[in-house]
Structure 1
Amino acid sequence: MNCEHRAGWICRIPAIPSFCRAATAATAVLLGACTTVGPDFERPRSSWLDAWSGGSLQSLPPATGGPRSAPYPEWWRNLGDPVLDRLVLEAQQANPNVRIAGLRIMEARAQLGIAGSARFPQVQQASAQLLRGGEQRFGGPDFTAVTLGAAFQVGWEIDFWGKFRRGIEAADAGYFASIARYDDLQVLMAAQVASLYCSIRTLEARVVIARKNAELQKRSLDIAQSLFRGGTESELDVQQANAQYLGTLATIPQLEAVLRQAQNALGTLLARTPGPLVEMNAGTSEIPQATLDVIVDVPAELLRRRPDVRAAELQLAGQSALIGVSAADLYPSISLLGSVGLSATSLNGSPRTLTWGAGPSLVWNVFDYGRLANAVLVQDARFQQLYEQYQDTLLRAAREVDDAAVGFVKTGEQVPLLADAVKAAQRSLDIATIQYREGLADFSRVLDAQRVLFGQQDLLVTTRGNLTQNLVALYKAMGGGWEPGRNRPAIDDATRETMEKRSNWKGLLAEPLPAADDAQPAIPDRQP
């Protein structure tokens, strides 16, 4: 039930005029003390984060001396592959998910404009009517008359309890959250392109190794067949050599199938049709390698700067403001109302009438049976859910950093060991071959040495690929790679022109993104 009181007019609840008078008096007293209801958001703290030392980050080897090869925001340039650099840039602009994220920034800008419009008169209504009537008098002349009326009404609800300010606060947080999600996709595109690129190069190297070992085993098979036909060796050696040769050949189609699937996945990221990329024809099977660049952020700040963590925090800030929006409905809303009207008729001598009225209006949902109070509780429960989601995002981020760091360190320890193992396997094959030719060893020793060499070479290439994969995962876990996107338009020129032809965006589409240093609105830290 609404209680509405307008100065100079009547109370809408005549049964309880004393209540309306009391409400009006109370409102008059409170007008001098405008406030903003609801909680003021403060950056949440995690008990473990400030004491977190980075986990496995401490076990990373120190960066190599000399000047840095590339700034941290463009970490993929450390891999020294110009083709990869171009593909990352293309994905960060052409990928459909990135384009959608850019359009959601435009949507958030429009939503922010809607929230800001609440500061101005909310009701602006004009009306006009034209009536024509006639009458036939008995024994007299007929006559007709035209009546014209026009009126204009305006209503402005005063933001007494900060309802509209909280709405702007929520929309502002939503806008920066949309930018953070856009940043997160920039990070994801760089990491996925680098990961798939490395996978393709690793698979190409594995195919090359398989083919080389197949050629080596084919020569051994030819020798065994020649000796068998000469009666020097048994058929057992021939069949064993043939089985090993065919088994190695059988691995090549499987590797080629996985290779094509990786190429298709990379093409999809770039919004291209499936198939190999022409740019990758050069440098086949060369796996990019790099050391870890210098880490300048402390572990806690390293996590907080991640775009997904920032997005979760901003979503939490927006929800905090929505608590205030709901809480404002518990209090009376005060509006300034005004109207003016003009009416006239075509009858001779009839007057023209001008009417006007102005005054405050008070609306207070007193008897809502707990509806508004429970609406506040709904928003508060959603805030707590998002708080737990924020804490989970932080924990997952820390886990990603630790997993990638330990993977990079331990895989790096494997590479030199496997390189020595390949050398030993190659030397073992050379010795077995010499001894077989001199009759000091049987053919099975040669086959065993070939099998071990193939396995060690394949494992070494795979591990080198995994080392780069872990490096990419570590940079992704640290949230690097989104900063260059702030210098590019969120939507391309063709899309902007199409949207501007369809709707009047008033320059919102061409407005640049905030600089990387202005990642989010200022949010105070919670005091312990």
Structure 2
Amino acid sequence: MIKLARTRVNIWTKGAALAACLGAVACAPLGPDFQEPQVDWLANWQPELYGPMQNGSPATDLSQWWQRFNDPVLNELIVAAREQSPSLKIAGLRILESRALLGVASGARYPQVQQISAQGAYAGKKRGGGEYRDFTTSQAAFTIGWEMDFWGRFRRAVESADAAYFASLSNYHDAQVLLASQVASLYYGIKTTLQRIEIAQNNLTLQERSYEITEQLFNEGQDSELDLQQAKSQYLSTKATIPGLRLALQQQRNALSALLSRAPNDLPELETIDSTLPQVDAQTVTDIPAQLILRRPDVRTAAWQAAAQSAQVGIAEADLYPSLSLFGTVGWSGNDIDIVDDVISVAAGPSLSWNIFNYGRIKNNVRMQDARLQQALEAYQASVLNAAREIDDAANRVAQTQISQQILDEALTAAERSLAIATRRYQEGYSDFQRVLDAQASTFRQSDRAVTNRGDHIAAIIGLYQALGGGWQQANIDTIVPANTRETLEQRTDWGDLLKAPLDYPPEQGHTHE
């Protein structure tokens, strides 16, 4: 029996050599080789307002654009958000997920079947004269099977998983961009609302004093009830705006708390801030918008998702062709009957399987994967278009709010001058009190509009940096998996080196192929 086993080992050796030769001459992987689509209109696209609005010193690094506001509280809030934001933590865990999936795909290139089996049995046999003899039998076997990657099925699977992993990295960067923009927008939204409340309260104090004067004059018979009711109406109207502003302020604070993964209104950083808004302009960048668009994290994500789907077409096409596998089994069987020897068996050889009668299902799966690829390519084109639209919208918003601010500041100056003149003329007896009330109302409106527009201008600059894809930094294993999260994962599951090994990046950031 041992001699027979050696013969089968020779068969296994020859089969392995044959498979190695076939593997060496295996054809290129089936399916398309992905190339990032060209965006024809992008090369000549240049927003008209992009150049004129550029002020200040050149800046190529937009990863920490908020530093240009020179606000330590804002800097502190963004650092805290990056450490605690639930959305960023989820994006980081998706990188771990895609990393594990890449390991699954890579493992399929090696023997897919590695199985050890064993069994035992107890039996009795009746002899002559009614005597029973008990005996046991045992069997064990080790089986291995390896489907050769003749059509590139497993290579395409690794390619797809690799692209999906890079897409998860880009998605993490996009989450950083959005988070920085949201924190900055809410922070300056809070300061804008604080200033609007201050303006309303200052005007309320002034209008309350006017109301008291008209009431006193009316009670003394020196003024008409019309002036009294108009003063009262204006006072109450201004007073009614404050609860709405305070509600907006509380909602903004709660939204910021949520970004920081804190309970509502848990913002000790804001206890010492005032309502002052910075005087800032969007600064220049040396790259043209077309170059910045293709580096935006959401555009990179769309490109990598298309690359991942492209490889799925090749995986589906591989099912149209036969699969060649090598198999081998080493078995042992024995018993405790002395007259029967234990047996060792070895079997090995190639096997072929081919779904020749199911081409309709397979071909339609190929078509489905190809349709999904085309959808991904269209989604990539749409992401570039959306990025261009956002940059153009943001550039126009910056320009127009800046123009509006100049006009509103002049209008506010005129309103304040008008109020001073109306007050003096009333005190001197040259005009009635209605002129004073009208001037007060105009000053309040112009003050509120000027502050609101100033907040809108800051928000527009923040939106421009977001549209340009600024605000992200390259992820590393320590940032995507904080220490407490790593400890939780390690206690629950054996993660091997995935929680420690450095993250892999594509050879050149911004390209989906080498």
User: TM-score, normalising length from structure 2?
Assistant: 0.92
Which residue in the other structure is 2:302 paired with? 312
Change (3 A) 1:219 1:140: closer
Structure 2 letter corresponding to 1:57:
Y
Provide the C-alpha distance between the structure 2 equivalents of 1:288 and 1:410, rounded to a whole number of angstroms. 18
Q: Secondary structure in 2 aligned to 1:334?
A: strand
Provide the C-alpha distance between the structure 2 equivalents of 1:514 and 1:428, rounded to a whole number of angstroms. 65
Pairing 1:128–2:118 present = yes
Which residue in the other structure is 2:277 paired with? 287
Provide the C-alpha distance between the structure 1 equivalents of 2:468 and 2:143, rounded to a whole number of angstroms. 56
Contact 1:260 1:276 in 2 (8 A): no
Provide the C-alpha distance between the structure 1 equivalents of 2:311 and 2:408, rounded to a whole number of angstroms. 57
Structure 2 letter corresponding to 1:216:
L
Provide the C-alpha distance between the structure 1 equivalents of 2:188 and 2:464, rounded to a whole number of angstroms. 15
Structure 2 letter corresponding to 1:64:
G
Once the 2 structures are TM-superposed, how far is the Cα of residue 510 of structure 1 from its aligned partner? Answer: 2.6
Q: Secondary structure in 2 aligned to 1:365?
A: coil
Which residue in the other structure is 1:232 paired with? 222
Pairing 1:38–2:31 present = yes
Contact 1:73 1:481 in 2 (8 A): yes
Q: Secondary structure in 1 aligned to 2:50?
A: helix
Provide the C-alpha distance between the structure 2 equivalents of 1:292 and 1:50, rounded to a whole number of angstroms. 23
Pairing 1:64–2:56 present = yes
Which residue in the other structure is 1:423 paired with? 413
Provide the C-alpha distance between the structure 2 equivalents of 1:153 and 1:242, rounded to a whole number of angstroms. 93
- Matched residues, number: 498
Contact 1:121 1:155 in 2 (8 A): yes
Once the 2 structures are TM-superposed, how far is the Cα of residue 110 of structure 1 from its aligned partner? Answer: 0.5
Which residue in the other structure is 1:342 paired with? 332
Once the 2 structures are TM-superposed, how far is the Cα of residue 374 of structure 1 from its aligned partner? Answer: 1.2
Change (3 A) 1:263 1:460: same
Which residue in the other structure is 2:319 paired with? 329
Which residue in the other structure is 2:174 paired with? 184
> For each residue in 1:252-277, what CA deviation from the matched residue of structure 2 results, as whole angstroms up to 9, or x when unmatched?
11111111111111111111111262
Which residue in the other structure is 1:460 paired with? 450
Pairing 1:499–2:492 present = no
Provide the C-alpha distance between the structure 2 equivalents of 1:168 and 1:516, rounded to a whole number of angstroms. 14
Q: Secondary structure in 2 aligned to 1:133?
A: strand
Identify the range of structure 1 (515-524 vs 186-195) with the bigger mean alpha-carbon deviation. 515-524
Match of 1:118 among 103, 108, 111: 108
Q: Secondary structure in 1 aligned to 2:139?
A: strand
> For each residue in 1:424-454, what CA deviation from the matched residue of structure 2 results, as whole angstroms up to 9, or x when unmatched?
1111111111111111111111111111111
Contact 1:483 1:516 in 2 (8 A): no
Structure 1 letter corresponding to 2:468:
M
Identify the range of structure 1 (132-141 vs 166-175) with the bigger mean alpha-carbon deviation. 132-141
> For each residue in 1:194-218, what CA deviation from the matched residue of structure 2 results, as whole angstroms up to 9, or x when unmatched?
1111111111000000010111112
Contact 1:176 1:520 in 2 (8 A): no
Match of 1:250 among 235, 240, 248: 240
Structure 2 letter corresponding to 1:40:
D
Q: Secondary structure in 2 aligned to 1:378?
A: helix
Which residue in the other structure is 1:97 paired with? 87
Once the 2 structures are TM-superposed, how far is the Cα of residue 56 of structure 1 from its aligned partner? Answer: 3.4
Change (3 A) 1:427 1:520: closer
Structure 2 letter corresponding to 1:439:
G
Provide the C-alpha distance between the structure 2 equivalents of 1:188 and 1:170, rounded to a whole number of angstroms. 27
Provide the C-alpha distance between the structure 2 equivalents of 1:116 and 1:515, rounded to a whole number of angstroms. 17
Q: Secondary structure in 1 aligned to 2:42?
A: coil
Identify the range of structure 1 (406-415 vs 237-246) with the bigger mean alpha-carbon deviation. 237-246
Once the 2 structures are TM-superposed, how far is the Cα of residue 225 of structure 1 from its aligned partner? Answer: 2.7
Q: Percent identity?
A: 46
Change (3 A) 1:128 1:485: closer
Q: Secondary structure in 2 aligned to 1:425?
A: helix
Q: Secondary structure in 1 aligned to 2:246?
A: helix
Equivalent runs, 1:473-484 vs 2, <5 Å? 473-483=463-473
Q: Secondary structure in 1 aligned to 2:354?
A: strand
Pairing 1:396–2:389 present = no
Provide the C-alpha distance between the structure 2 equivalents of 1:386 and 1:34, rounded to a whole number of angstroms. 27
Match of 2:438 among 432, 445, 448: 448
Once the 2 structures are TM-superposed, how far is the Cα of residue 245 of structure 1 from its aligned partner? Answer: 1.1
Once the 2 structures are TM-superposed, how far is the Cα of residue 72 of structure 1 from its aligned partner? Answer: 1.9
Contact 2:23 2:148 in 1 (8 A): no
Provide the C-alpha distance between the structure 2 equivalents of 1:510 and 1:277, rounded to a whole number of angstroms. 33
Provide the C-alpha distance between the structure 2 equivalents of 1:320 and 1:490, rounded to a whole number of angstroms. 28
Contact 1:198 1:288 in 2 (8 A): no
Provide the C-alpha distance between the structure 1 equivalents of 2:28 and 2:401, rounded to a whole number of angstroms. 59
Which residue in the other structure is 2:11 paired with? none
Contact 1:408 1:470 in 2 (8 A): yes
Change (3 A) 1:139 1:33: closer
In structure 2, list runs of 5 or more residues that go unmatched. 1-7, 9-17
Provide the C-alpha distance between the structure 1 equivalents of 2:474 and 2:374, rounded to a whole number of angstroms. 34
Once the 2 structures are TM-superposed, how far is the Cα of residue 488 of structure 1 from its aligned partner? Answer: 5.0
Match of 1:107 among 72, 88, 97: 97
> For each residue in 1:327-356, what CA deviation from the matched residue of structure 2 results, as whole angstroms up to 9, or x when unmatched?
111111111111111122211221222211
Provide the C-alpha distance between the structure 1 equivalents of 2:217 and 2:138, rounded to a whole number of angstroms. 117
Which residue in the other structure is 1:19 paired with? none
RMSD: 2.3
Change (3 A) 1:366 1:71: closer
Change (3 A) 1:406 1:394: same
Match of 1:221 among 177, 200, 211: 211
Match of 1:138 among 122, 125, 128: 128
Once the 2 structures are TM-superposed, how far is the Cα of residue 284 of structure 1 from its aligned partner? Answer: 2.1
User: TM-score, normalising length from structure 1?
Assistant: 0.90
Once the 2 structures are TM-superposed, how far is the Cα of residue 59 of structure 1 from its aligned partner? Answer: 3.6
> For each residue in 1:487-509, what CA deviation from the matched residue of structure 2 results, as whole angstroms up to 9, or x when unmatched?
85202111101111111101212
Pairing 1:49–2:39 present = no
Which residue in the other structure is 1:22 paired with? none
Contact 2:320 2:359 in 1 (8 A): no
Provide the C-alpha distance between the structure 2 equivalents of 1:505 and 1:266, rounded to a whole number of angstroms. 34
Pairing 1:74–2:75 present = no
Change (3 A) 1:155 1:164: same
Provide the C-alpha distance between the structure 2 equivalents of 1:128 and 1:276, rounded to a whole number of angstroms. 61
Pairing 1:262–2:223 present = no
Which residue in the other structure is 1:366 paired with? 356
Provide the C-alpha distance between the structure 1 equivalents of 2:129 and 2:96, rounded to a whole number of angstroms. 72
> For each residue in 1:160-181, what CA deviation from the matched residue of structure 2 results, as whole angstroms up to 9, or x when unmatched?
1111010000000111111111
Change (3 A) 1:214 1:393: same
